[in-house]
A and B are shown apart, each in its own frame.
Chain A
Amino acid sequence: MAQNTYSPVNNLMPVDSSLRRRYFVGRWLRYLALAIVLALAIILLIPIVWMLLGSFKIQRVALAYPPELIPSNPVLDNWERLLINRPSMRWLLNSFVVAGGIAFFGVVTSTCAGYAFGKKQFPGRTICFWLILMTMMLPRQIYMIPLFVLMKNFGWFNSYQGMVAPYLVYPFGVFLMRQYMQSIPDELLEAAKMDGASEIQLFRHIILPLSRPAIGAIAIFAFMAGWNDYLWQLVMATDELWLTLPVGVAKLTASGVGSIDIGVGMAGATFAFIPMLLIFLLFQNYFIKGITVGALKG
């Protein structure tokens, strides 16, 4: 990256654009364009609102045409059936364990490997890094079938380890960490070594604290990737108790195509949406940092 000089460290800082006011077109044209953008934003939010409203509709209302935009007589039946008649709390727990596990291991492996790739010299470094980088670009479905056979041999269907194991390494995290490590000055490590720090101490007391922002971004992204890893979880969980939240709620409507229970489906979809929404609202800045850090180049 010759012309773009921002380093990963700079990139983790909040971008302040409030100082820049730059318009490419005339005022009225700009208002018109902004109106279009606003409309687009609203269109993107409509399904989410519609889902929330739908979760309070009894079947008769949900199937009404013309649809009742605001349910005239909102009910909690759907939520009751979702939360009491279905093991939805267990699904929530499963999702948290799986996504949390993926985030935890993703952070551990990314930090260690990123440090080695960014700061250590050893034969085979480049090839190992490229191997991992390549899989970042590969759709996982390419090796889903052999992985499925492998899991079958391990007897890991309906288990947390089966859903987490393929994600112990988070290639994007390794990539991001390596970039980040390269931005840590060598002198810092040299100085610590002079003072007699061991490799482990160096890693624990210098590398780890310095890489906290990158760790945050990786944790969030790995968690989100784990939470949304619908296909693999669908493959691994056959027992109702082992479904994750997205897979579980998807089965609410997918079973019995003839008589779809829309209200429960919408309640389930809302229920699956809420945890991610909360995480997004809490860690919004990490999301943005994580996304932009990924775009920097080596």
Chain B
Amino acid sequence: MLASFGKRVWDGRWGYIFIAPAMIPFVIFTGYPLVQGLLLSFYKAGVNRDKWKYIGLKNYTNLLTRDPVFPTAIKNTFLFVLGVVPAAMIICLFVAVLIYPLSQRKQSFFRAAFYMPVVSAGVVLAMVWVYIYSQEYGLLNYIFESFGLLNLLNEGEKIGWLAQTDTALLSLAIVVLSWSLGQPLILFLAGLGAIPETLYDAAKIDGANSWQSFWKITLPLLRPTMLFVLVVLTIAVFQVFVVVQLMTLGGPANATQTIVFRIWVTGIVGAKFGYASAMAVILLAIVSVLAIIQFKLLDRQVT
């Protein structure tokens, strides 16, 4: 028994040699910090290592019951996900179905236009959007004014998009949405390309109209792609940070605090390693639960 295991290990030696370049850094820079983070979350830990002290679950109880900001940050992060993810999926599905029949050249134009914000990256867009959202000299207020929308919405006064608690989160979500469209669109287009044309022909012969074939053929067959997009987008939006750090710093009145922003403020800026690690573990728990749910869905759909 042991001998045969030893033989299997020996026979697989080239496997180990080939995974070593990946597994060694993986253990040092991912595995170890993950475990360390779990442990740190039970400590009161700051810059001075000698003063680290085990405090049990206190970080967690403080976070969930006494922290004035963290529950808001969780809520805002969920609002981001619940707003951006479905919006991105619906928009991308709509756009993909519409531009799919277009010529290759027109299709590439749209694909490039929707992918451009992904290329330009968070920092660049966040900086531009701060300028666009500005209350006194922003382009957005100018556009709203030109279309008479300021009169309609705010009695002609210019809107402080990032300065008001009721618009700040939405304003940031729109920026995040703008760079969440490129990838799903390309995936949906590829998904549409994988649907056999014969299915539509068969449906036509059976007397289905095009609306029916959309609901009965396109949507069901795109389902695996949709679920994949759902998983990827959810995880991406959960990490929302750049817009918060560059555009609002969590304000006004904590209206745009998010989990990752709190981790950064608490752990890196404030050097409260233990407390921030507890936040990270909560983030891990939330993401894991979501991932498991989504994987279950994927499994059921896909296999």
A positions within 8 Å CB-CB of B: 1-4, 6, 11, 15-18, 20-25, 30, 33-34, 37, 40-42, 44-48, 50-51, 54, 62-67, 108-110, 112-113, 115-117, 120-123, 125, 128, 131-132, 135, 137-150, 165-166, 168-169, 174, 199, 203, 227-228, 230-231, 234-235, 246-247, 249-250, 253-254, 262, 265-266, 268-270, 272-273, 276-277, 280, 284, 287-288, 291-292, 294-295, 297
Given the complex, which residues of A lie within 8 Å of B103, measured CB to CB?
18
Given the complex, which residues of A lie within 8 Å of B23, measured CB to CB?
113, 128
| A150 and B187 within 8 A (CB) | no
13 A/B residue pairs, CB under 8 Å, sorted by A: A21-B101, A40-B95, A44-B114, A46-B139, A50-B128, A120-B15, A122-B11, A131-B26, A135-B30, A145-B263, A146-B36, A291-B186, A295-B228
The majority secondary structure among interface residues of chain B is helix
| A15 and B193 within 8 A (CB) | yes
- Shortest beta-carbon distance from B228 to chain A in Å: 5
The majority secondary structure among interface residues of chain A is helix
| A113 and B18 within 8 A (CB) | yes
Given the complex, which residues of B lie within 8 Å of A65, measured CB to CB?
136-137, 142
| B187 and A295 within 8 A (CB) | yes
**In the bound complex, how far is the Cα of B121 from the Cα of A228, in angstroms?**
6
| B30 and A37 within 8 A (CB) | no
| A269 and B127 within 8 A (CB) | yes
Known: A15-B189, A24-B214. A166 touches B30 (CB 8 A): yes
| A145 and B120 within 8 A (CB) | no
Nearest A residue to B229 via CB reads A295
The answer to whether the Cβ of B54 comes within 8 Å of any Cβ in the partner chain is no
Most buried by B among A1, A44, A165, A268: A44
The answer to whether the Cβ of B130 comes within 8 Å of any Cβ in the partner chain is yes
Known: A108-B21, A288-B186. A44 touches B142 (CB 8 A): no
Most buried by A among B138, B190, B211: B190
Given the complex, which residues of B lie within 8 Å of A122, measured CB to CB?
8-9, 11-13, 15-16
| A169 and B22 within 8 A (CB) | yes
Known: A17-B189, A50-B132, A121-B11. A145 touches B101 (CB 8 A): no
- Shortest beta-carbon distance from B204 to chain A in Å: 10
**In the bound complex, how far is the Cα of B8 from the Cα of A125, in angstroms?**
12
- Shortest beta-carbon distance from B32 to chain A in Å: 7
Given the complex, which residues of B lie within 8 Å of A147, measured CB to CB?
29, 33
Given A62-B131, A143-B33, A174-B22, 9 more contacts at CB 8 Å?
A11-B190, A116-B14, A120-B14, A146-B40, A203-B18, A230-B242, A231-B264, A265-B131, A295-B187
| B221 and A3 within 8 A (CB) | yes
The answer to whether the Cβ of B122 comes within 8 Å of any Cβ in the partner chain is yes
Nearest A residue to B40 via CB reads A146
**In the bound complex, how far is the Cα of B40 from the Cα of A190, in angstroms?**
49
**In the bound complex, how far is the Cα of B102 from the Cα of A30, in angstroms?**
11
**8 Å CB contact of B113 from A44, A110, A149:** A44
**In the bound complex, how far is the Cα of B13 from the Cα of A116, in angstroms?**
10
Nearest B residue to A167 via CB reads B29
Given the complex, which residues of B lie within 8 Å of A67, measured CB to CB?
137-139, 142
Among B68-76, B149-157, B161-169, B272-280, which stretch is in contact with chain A? B272-280
| A4 and B194 within 8 A (CB) | yes
The answer to whether the Cβ of B183 comes within 8 Å of any Cβ in the partner chain is yes
| A37 and B287 within 8 A (CB) | no
The answer to whether the Cβ of B260 comes within 8 Å of any Cβ in the partner chain is yes
- Shortest beta-carbon distance from A72 to chain B in Å: 16
The answer to whether the Cβ of B197 comes within 8 Å of any Cβ in the partner chain is yes
| A199 and B246 within 8 A (CB) | no
Known: A47-B128, A122-B8, A269-B128. A33 touches B98 (CB 8 A): yes
Given the complex, which residues of A lie within 8 Å of B228, measured CB to CB?
295, 297
**8 Å CB contact of A246 from B5, B109, B123:** B123
Given the complex, which residues of B lie within 8 Å of A123, measured CB to CB?
5, 8-9, 12
Nearest A residue to B187 via CB reads A295
Given the complex, which residues of B lie within 8 Å of A47, measured CB to CB?
117, 125, 128-129, 132, 178
| B15 and A235 within 8 A (CB) | no
Given the complex, which residues of A lie within 8 Å of B277, measured CB to CB?
145-146
| A145 and B15 within 8 A (CB) | no
Given the complex, which residues of A lie within 8 Å of B126, measured CB to CB?
250
**8 Å CB contact of A249 from B36, B91, B123, B235:** B123
**In the bound complex, how far is the Cα of B12 from the Cα of A125, in angstroms?**
10
**8 Å CB contact of B21 from A40, A44, A113:** A113
Known: A24-B210, A64-B137. A120 touches B128 (CB 8 A): no
| A166 and B267 within 8 A (CB) | no
**In the bound complex, how far is the Cα of B238 from the Cα of A135, in angstroms?**
15
